[in-house]
Amino acid sequence: MISAALSHKNRRHKARRITAIPLIALLALAGCTKGPEEASGAIELGRSIRALIAERRAGDPAPLQINRAFLQQFPQPHLEIIVENSDLTGYLGLVLARRDDLPGEITTWSAADNSALAFRNGMLIATRGLAGNLISASVPVQNGIAGPARGGQRRYHLRSGNNQEQVVTLACEITDLGSQRLEIYERLYSTRHLQEHCEGRAETGRKTVVLNDYWVDSQNQKVWKSRQWAGPEIGYLRIRDLSN
């Protein structure tokens, strides 16, 4: 389970209030390896949030506030993940960055229980433990360019009922929605908002329409924020990079 999944009600405040901790399962991404020191550092944000919530429950009625000063206590990069259709939030730390024979860098992010998501240049390519797991996804990336580098075909391999696999093939177009000043917990970033509109059909013949959004840093080509589809069962994930 994500170590600190919780209700997320107020998205506009600089300091977020945490009032509950419903948990959601995300199993470890197969094939990832990490040493004990690396894993421990990556999950410390989630553990600390859970510990602070426990303290509040024990006697302090004031809600926990997450702000930039709090995040600066954790040197490891972390992601904030919100499951949009259930309004649950969790925190995952970076445990692995690597390259393979395809363009782009793969990053794997894990929580205290080894739950994990994987990205290529900031684009979601795998989940584990979610309803209808995203087994893998082909994404249009180029080296040195964060987010979608072009339009064209995308293919999602998804886990369906009875442990079966279904493939969803989509045709995508990218729209540059222009520059946008983005704030994440009191820190401002100059970004470009890219939107990916995809349409196609699953093997079952069901029509699928997907709208992914990416806020890419104008200088260092990093995706600071995104909203990405993880499959028809889980829906969209809202993702923010909390790196200091």
Give the pairing type, strands 64-66 and 16-18: antiparallel
- CA torsion 117-57-75-33 (nearest 10°) is -40
Distance CA 201, CA 113 (A): 35
Q: 87-124: per-residue pLDDT in tens? A: 888 888 898 899 998 898 999 998 766 678 999 999 99
Walk me through the domains of the chain, giving residue ranges and CATH numbers.
6-241 (2.40.360.10)
Cβ-contact 70, 53 below 8 angstroms: no
pLDDT tens, the chain, 244 aa long: 334 333 333 333 333 332 222 222 232 222 333 343 444 445 556 666 666 556 555 555 555 678 888 888 887 888 999 999 988 888 888 988 999 988 989 999 987 666 789 999 999 999 876 677 899 999 888 888 899 988 888 899 998 767 788 899 999 999 999 999 999 999 999 999 999 999 997 777 788 999 999 999 988 889 999 999 999 888 999 999 998 7
Lookup result for tokens 């028809």: 232
* 129 phi/psi in degrees, rounded to 5: 90, -15
Contacts of 161 (CB under 8 A, 6+ apart): none
Here the contacts of 149-152 (C-beta below 8 Å, separation 24 or greater) are 149/121, 150/174, 151/196
